[in-house]
Structure 1
């Protein structure tokens, strides 16, 4: 139990990359009395909760880190191109220690409700520890993928074995040795976990609803010369990723794939395939995500790769995506994913050809009229993305309006950072901001800096309230939808569209601006330079 009613200048919810940087900025840059609430027992956020086998970042490590600590960029040595979860968590623990962040974080404490008081311009927050706290500024740093989605499959409570969701694995891990294991799902998480589990399990059965286009990660040690060269030019790298479309050093090929010869594009496709990472997704020909004909040419290359890798032609066909355009869903990076289906102990059960999951029984899973026996079921079924973590906070704005109600038909924000009717609330990487379509630390740092500058300006001007105007919010929502409607993204049933959650309104959740996170940064800077146009200040 904490103080009866603790008072702070600012309250931050969450202590992952976002919350840690926000605390550092508010406390040490602005001198604000700041409290962070974190449901986990330590810092890390995503990297605390997601400890499934094979969990690793999929942006290159040299840019998947904080850039505000310039000395740390020089001092820290990453072991691989894409470090695994324990290493990223060690990095975040190191940052917390280096900047003495933990003294202002209340761990093992979940925020259960918050409401805005119009008379005092203060937020009051309740926690599951029975604590009540007030603050002028409330900042959510809850992450975009933290509200886990456990599908409502009949009979789960009857299952006699053990089951886990990938975002809530036991600390010591799970021993799959000699076990019959089911993995439900084939998204980015499953693509990382399946090859690892297959190495241990006696038998692994993968339940696939929708096949995914995977591209190779090409993980491994980074050449020490490359590391040295990057450290020598970090200032330029930081500038480039901040101005880039996706917070990465990947840029589209500035021509149409339809203007190329088959030989030329095959060479480019091979180059991107061999380079690994997101090159094939965001460094491809510029019309891949806007022109169906161009998209088909790129997708055909990936289909040929799958057929070449998977030995059984029938299994290969089931692993080839159908019914949506390449790149319109989250791009999984794989290490031996397709190769795993060549193993004797791995079975693919595809909802379309073998039958969907009907129920979970005492002994396993029934699908397509057949029962499969399991000792362990792993749900790699993703998240109620972007909006789920925010609506779960039970926030009430002016007039006591719940956020869930304000977003009943999908998210409404201004810049993905503020919500009309919810004064003094800032959402780091909220819906309708670039967030999940970028290298997250770049998106996070932009928001933290903008929010800090905003609060600093308001305080210097003696103001106690800032709120997005409904008309600015409506115009932003329209802009988000106009931009995305010029692409192929809305045609897919992806979690970007909220399509993975039954009954969730169909809306494109992130923001894909014409110049990505770089263009978005410039737009936010203009809003601030104009005295926070689109906001009412009080």
Structure 2
């Protein structure tokens, strides 16, 4: 493996001037309604969420049964929950999934150019267990989808899975000590245990643009990138969108999805208008094929070693000595540059946290300036190049990489429409789309506007009713803040387990978080079965102690959050003050692997401290 060191970044920057510029760019984009700017996908817009373009709905009789474990969601969170339950010896596992197959985000997202944005050797779980090696560093979506299906087959999760099925309501039956689950297919399932594994990116969101009905009624075509319409565009995930050759296409959104889409739309559409509220930071991708010799040299346990290494070098930690950077990409650059700078100081051990954070900030500014100057070398038109420059701190938005995105704006058939000043697209008309007071005639509008991550939890779960003991609504219970033990159980909701960004460890590698949670949930559930318990939930004291621990160890990151341009990372500019509307919620501040150690010690004690088991 080649040594991976710090990068060349510019020294001739005025940090104070950049701070002012960042604040100005943030202010241009702030909207008072926050996450309320996005439409809820119900009624006239339900088809954006509920219709599956890949698997025709097959009629079936309603399922009326008792079940041991029901997992809601068949993406990586649900697959890992099922896998670890099976490994713990738990039988009677049934998955309920609204899609036509396993895969979650990798089932729904099949847009042209879709790839993993993280190092695939870290991100794709259970590689060693299933004997699978990604074909390249940033694997294609179809490859990841195939691995999801392989996990389902390997662990027997297809047996009893209910696909193309949406849960509508869940109510706790205290007499039966079971969850009564109702679905849109008329199912009535009495589940002993429920695992909530809907994932973090399951519900597409649409910007609330006035006139969307006018455009649709006049015959204008539009769809969300997570429900790609290949009947309209032609082609496939590799591109070749031949049906767009005579079409004027509007793409709304320039986040991670937009960065992957633009090169394909630019090649194939008659004209592409890219509507940008906030530019992404876009670095080189360097998507190298997997080296067979490297793969053959790997020893058992290599993936866990690599995941830990990535976490240490990622922006969540970022100061590492005596350990090589195995991932060596745009995610770990800040860690490398910080570590080199600290190591070169006269007395690294004497540096306090304020000095380290000052170094971090300065290296952050340098990296972002490097990325902005890279744009000038790739984009010919100075005005377009300037509009594409990201003026914010690293990790204010999800970092991206591509060799093809920025050069696409040199094409004569591609127009960048910067909508920062008017805080987004203004409206749709019968003819097209209006921004900055100008109407653009288009045949098709594609929304690459992401997923509901910072909206109210009732919208993110997409279930009408979740009622625990005595009719307590989970949505009311968590309206202001989460209340859990370890982020995975909540008092008043017996035998229910949660996955996601909820009062636990946070990693830049989301699937590592799901795997950590799956292992812990499987342990608790198996112990409840083995000990003959009918119900398991946190004690009042256990839950309060955990809330106290999270609060006591919390780090005030509000200054950083509120300096960032609006987006889902900072709850559309409002920060974590909005409680469970924040992207990360309340997290365990000592770190992801510190949380892992805490859970391992808790399990090793065998006392299930903080939980109540009732026979």
* TM, length-normalised to structure 1: 0.86
Matched, 1:303 2:372: yes
How far 1:504 moved relative to its partner? 7.3
Aligned residue for 2:159? 103
* C-alpha contact 1:182 1:376 (8 A) present in aligned 2: yes
Q: Where in structure 2 are the equivalents of 1:351-366 lying within 5 Å?
A: 351-353=419-421, 356-366=424-434
How far 1:90 moved relative to its partner? 1.8
Q: Secondary structure at the match of 2:113?
A: coil
Among candidates 254, 276, 281, match of residue 213 of structure 1:
281
Among candidates 475, 487, 504, match of residue 416 of structure 1:
487
Aligned residue for 2:442? 374
> For residues 3 and 312 of structure 1, do their structure 2 counterparts lie closer, same or farther at Cα, with a shift above 3 Å needed?
closer
How many residue pairs match? The answer is 514
Provide, for residues 211-254 of structure 1, a one-character-per-residue CA deviation record: whole Å limited to 9, x for no partner: 2222222213222222222xx32413324525763698997344
Provide, for residues 156-190 of structure 1, a one-character-per-residue CA deviation record: whole Å limited to 9, x for no partner: 12222211111111366733333211111111111
* C-alpha contact 1:412 1:477 (8 A) present in aligned 2: no
How far 1:72 moved relative to its partner? 2.2
How far 1:17 moved relative to its partner? 1.8
* C-alpha contact 1:247 1:438 (8 A) present in aligned 2: no
Matched, 1:252 2:318: yes
Among candidates 131, 134, 137, match of residue 78 of structure 1:
134
CA distance in 1, matches of 2:562, 2:463: 25
Among candidates 112, 117, 125, match of residue 58 of structure 1:
117
Aligned residue for 2:107? 48
How far 1:471 moved relative to its partner? 1.2
> For residues 148 and 504 of structure 1, do their structure 2 counterparts lie closer, same or farther at Cα, with a shift above 3 Å needed?
farther
Aligned residue for 1:119? 175
Among candidates 467, 470, 487, match of residue 537 of structure 2:
467
* TM, length-normalised to structure 2: 0.76
Matched, 1:343 2:411: yes
How far 1:314 moved relative to its partner? 1.6
* C-alpha contact 2:272 2:413 (8 A) present in aligned 1: yes
CA distance in 1, matches of 2:394, 2:404: 20
Q: Secondary structure at the match of 2:453?
A: coil
CA distance in 2, matches of 1:250, 1:134: 41
CA distance in 2, matches of 1:475, 1:35: 35
> For residues 228 and 178 of structure 1, do their structure 2 counterparts lie closer, same or farther at Cα, with a shift above 3 Å needed?
farther
CA distance in 2, matches of 1:4, 1:303: 56
Aligned residue for 1:537? 613
Gap regions ≥5 residues in structure 1: 256-270
> For residues 447 and 11 of structure 1, do their structure 2 counterparts lie closer, same or farther at Cα, with a shift above 3 Å needed?
same
Q: Secondary structure at the match of 2:307?
A: helix
Aligned residue for 2:567? 494
Matched, 1:455 2:513: no
> For residues 478 and 250 of structure 1, do their structure 2 counterparts lie closer, same or farther at Cα, with a shift above 3 Å needed?
closer
* C-alpha contact 1:215 1:280 (8 A) present in aligned 2: no
CA distance in 2, matches of 1:494, 1:456: 39
Gap regions ≥5 residues in structure 2: 1-59, 235-243, 340-355
Q: Secondary structure at the match of 2:460?
A: helix
Among candidates 331, 350, 367, match of residue 278 of structure 1:
331
> For residues 238 and 356 of structure 1, do their structure 2 counterparts lie closer, same or farther at Cα, with a shift above 3 Å needed?
closer
* C-alpha contact 1:111 1:126 (8 A) present in aligned 2: yes
How far 1:21 moved relative to its partner? 2.7
* C-alpha contact 2:338 2:359 (8 A) present in aligned 1: no
How far 1:486 moved relative to its partner? 7.5
> For residues 249 and 87 of structure 1, do their structure 2 counterparts lie closer, same or farther at Cα, with a shift above 3 Å needed?
farther
Matched, 1:131 2:187: yes
CA distance in 2, matches of 1:393, 1:23: 24
CA distance in 2, matches of 1:311, 1:288: 36
How far 1:450 moved relative to its partner? 0.8
Aligned residue for 2:17? none
Q: Secondary structure at the match of 1:62?
A: helix
Q: Secondary structure at the match of 1:24?
A: helix
> For residues 84 and 179 of structure 1, do their structure 2 counterparts lie closer, same or farther at Cα, with a shift above 3 Å needed?
same
Provide, for residues 432-466 of structure 1, a one-character-per-residue CA deviation record: whole Å limited to 9, x for no partner: 3445x432322222111111111112222222222
How far 1:275 moved relative to its partner? 5.0
Provide, for residues 98-146 of structure 1, a one-character-per-residue CA deviation record: whole Å limited to 9, x for no partner: 4432122111111111112233332111111000111121001111011
Matched, 1:483 2:555: yes
Among candidates 229, 237, 253, match of residue 303 of structure 2:
237
Aligned residue for 1:397? 468
> For residues 212 and 110 of structure 1, do their structure 2 counterparts lie closer, same or farther at Cα, with a shift above 3 Å needed?
same
